């Protein structure tokens, strides 16, 4: 069977904290002349701009990158709807509102099925972990491409509770192992990781998870996997000359030259057992000389072969 190439992009969009009534059409109408120099380069660079200002640039960059599957974090439903409007009818989306479990749709690339679980001790119920800053979920989507199956897990770990992050990583790793065993296809996992990296990559042992979840997603006895199953950081296994762009994926809305908040917290992982290859990696730019941060995170794009 021929080798399949797949490009994946993950981006924490920064939720719409300054909502207004400006339509997508109005945002487009208010764009500056394409040939006109900005009055001042990097003006207001340290100020978070409303989503209505950011969304056109977000959509344009994503379309330029050309990934058929894009994973978002922090995106509110209205933000995803805006992007769907900008991308056009060929695109759609899958996922739920993390706070209420409502909203659903279909994806852009041969989506076969999907589901969501909450990253708590009651993962099948809409729930928030005690001490966590927000409701946290993981969306699992099964795709086919070139008659091959792969499973994508998308999540956003909590920024306040280390206990929640450890539990979340343990749940996702357990589910990833199940998907790897039952599909025998690649299992990439994407998202903003505020501290669960060591459990994902096998440095730390997982914590105890919900018994019902463990029973439902137990690896079948006829599909065993190696005991050292883990997730691999795609940046770390790509040939060095194929790693491009930034190291830090989180910048905040910082002044030029101030790197205090910088860090690498946005990742694309892949399950260790399956034959796949990561051939290129780029942490892109989210700030251009018009001074508008598209997000406080940078998009990460990875090319895979399997």
CA distance 100 to 245: 37
Q: Is residue 26 situated within a structural domain?
A: no
Q: Is residue 19 situated within a structural domain?
A: no
* CATH number, position 221: 3.60.10.10
- Cβ distance 163 to 177 under 8 Å? no
Q: 117: domain range?
A: 5-13+39-305
Query: In tens digits, what is the pLDDT along the chain, a chain of 306 residues?
Result: 688 999 999 999 999 999 999 999 999 999 999 999 989 999 989 899 999 999 999 999 999 999 999 999 999 999 999 999 999 988 878 775 445 444 433 334 678 999 999 999 999 999 999 999 999 999 999 999 988 999 999 999 998 999 999 999 999 999 999 999 999 889 999 987 766 899 999 999 999 999 999 999 999 988 878 778 999 999 999 999 999 999 999 999 999 999 999 999 999 999 997 789 999 999 999 999 999 999 999 999 999 999
- Within the chain, where are the H helices? 24-29, 51-65, 77-87, 162-183, 197-200, 211-216, 234-237
- Cβ distance 300 to 283 under 8 Å? yes
Rounded to a whole number of angstroms, the CA Rg of the chain reads: 19
pLDDT of residue 194: 62
Burial of 37 (0-12, 13-18, 19+ CB in 10 A): exposed
Q: Is the pTM of this model over 0.95?
A: no
* Structural domain count, the chain: 1
Cα atoms in the Cβ-side hemisphere of radius 13 Å centred on 252: 11
CA distance 277 to 282: 15
Structure tokens of 252? 């905040």
Backbone φ, ψ for residue 208 (5° rounding): -65, 135
pLDDT of residue 104: 38
Structure tokens of 269? 């992982």
Q: Is residue 27 situated within a structural domain?
A: no
pLDDT of residue 109: 63
Q: How far is CA 208 from CA 121, 134, 171, 218, 226, in A?
A: 9, 21, 9, 14, 20
Cα 240 off chain centre by: 23
Q: Is residue 30 situated within a structural domain?
A: no
pLDDT of residue 161: 94
Q: Is residue 93 situated within a structural domain?
A: yes
Q: How far is CA 106 from CA 48, 111, 114, 141, in A?
A: 31, 7, 9, 10
Q: Is residue 22 situated within a structural domain?
A: no
What order do you get walking across the sheet with 5-12 strand by strand? Answer: 69-73, 5-12, 300-305, 277-283, 243-245
pLDDT of residue 208: 98
In this predicted model, what pLDDT tens digit does every residue of 68-111 receive, in sequence order? 999 999 999 999 999 999 999 888 787 754 454 444 333 346 78
pLDDT of residue 11: 97
Which DSSP symbol is given to 199? Answer: H
Q: Is residue 24 situated within a structural domain?
A: no
pLDDT of residue 98: 46
pLDDT of residue 110: 79
């Amino acid at each position: 069977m021929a080798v399949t190439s797949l490009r994946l992009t993950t981006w924490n969009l920064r939720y719409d904290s300054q909502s207004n009534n400006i339509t997508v059409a109005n945002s487009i109408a208010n764009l500056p002349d394409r040939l006109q120099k900005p009055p001042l380069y990097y003006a207001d660079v340290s100020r978070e701009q409303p989503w209505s200002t950011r969304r056109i640039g977000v959509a344009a960059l994503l379309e330029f990158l050309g990934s058929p599957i894009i994973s978002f974090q922090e995106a509110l439903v209205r933000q995803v709807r805006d992007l769907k409007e900008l991308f056009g009818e060929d695109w759609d989306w899958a996922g739920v509102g993390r706070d209420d479990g409502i909203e659903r749709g279909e994806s852009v690339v041969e989506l076969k099925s999907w589901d969501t679980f909450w990253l708590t001790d009651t993962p099948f119920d809409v729930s928030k972990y005690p001490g966590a800053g927000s409701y946290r979920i993981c969306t699992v989507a099964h795709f086919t491409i070139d008659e091959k199956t792969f499973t994508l897990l998308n999540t956003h770990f909590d920024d306040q509770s280390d206990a929640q992050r450890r539990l979340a990583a343990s749940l996702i790793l357990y589910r990833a192992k199940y998907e790897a065993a039952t599909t025998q296809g690649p299992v990439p996992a994407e998202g903003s990781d505020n501290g669960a990296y060591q459990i994902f990559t096998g440095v730390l042992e997982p914590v105890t998870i919900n018994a019902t979840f463990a029973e439902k997603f137990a690896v079948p006895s006829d599909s065993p996997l190696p005991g050292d199953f883990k997730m691999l950081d795609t940046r770390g296994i790509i040939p060095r000359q194929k790693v491009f762009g930034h190291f830090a994926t989180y910048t905040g809305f910082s002044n030029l030259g101030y790197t205090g908040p910088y860090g690498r917290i946005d990742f694309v992982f892949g399950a260790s057992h399956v034959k796949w290859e990561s051939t290129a990696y780029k942490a892109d730019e989210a700030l251009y000389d018009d001074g508008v941060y598209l997000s406080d995170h940078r998009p990460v794009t990875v090319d895979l072969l399997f």
